[in-house]
Amino acid sequence: MTTTSSPEVWLAGLRAELDLIDATLLDTLKTRIDVCVRIAEHKREHGVPMMQPHRIGIVQERAARYGAEHGVDGTFLRRLYDLIIEETCRVEDLVIDAPDADDRQPVTDNAS
């Protein structure tokens, strides 16, 4: 798309681009949660505690470095990762605490 298009067409194109990025972001978050489920299954099978504070620190530090290197606000990234980590801990708890593999609850809320 060129800048000679009408402002409305240009904006629509940018919004379509943003929609694709959002879809990728959501798919990536889902993939991350899926991996966390596999991690929780491993922790459950081997008696590893759900909470791994050192791992949270590693993830937060990596996000902070990324922000510094790419001009993304560090406070924003910390808040974002706080939410992501909170959700993955919730999911891991569901998996680890489930009485039996066949009785496990869905880890996502599919209510619309």
DSSP assignment, residue 26? H
| pLDDT on residue 65 | 96
Helix (H, G, I), strand (E, B) or coil at 20: helix
| pLDDT on residue 112 | 42
pLDDT surpasses 80 at 103:
no
In angstroms, the Cα distances linking 24 to 20, 29, 81, 82 are 6, 9, 17, 20
Model confidence over 57-78: pLDDT tens digits?
999 999 999 999 999 999 999 9
| pLDDT on residue 99 | 86
Higher-pLDDT residue of 105, 87: 87
Model confidence over 75-97: pLDDT tens digits?
999 999 999 999 999 999 999 99
Question: How large is the average pLDDT for residues 11-27?
Answer: 98
Model confidence over 37-55: pLDDT tens digits?
999 999 999 999 999 999 9
- How far is it, in rounded angstroms, from Cα 61 to Cα 70? 14
pLDDT surpasses 90 at 100:
no
Higher-pLDDT residue of 99, 44: 44
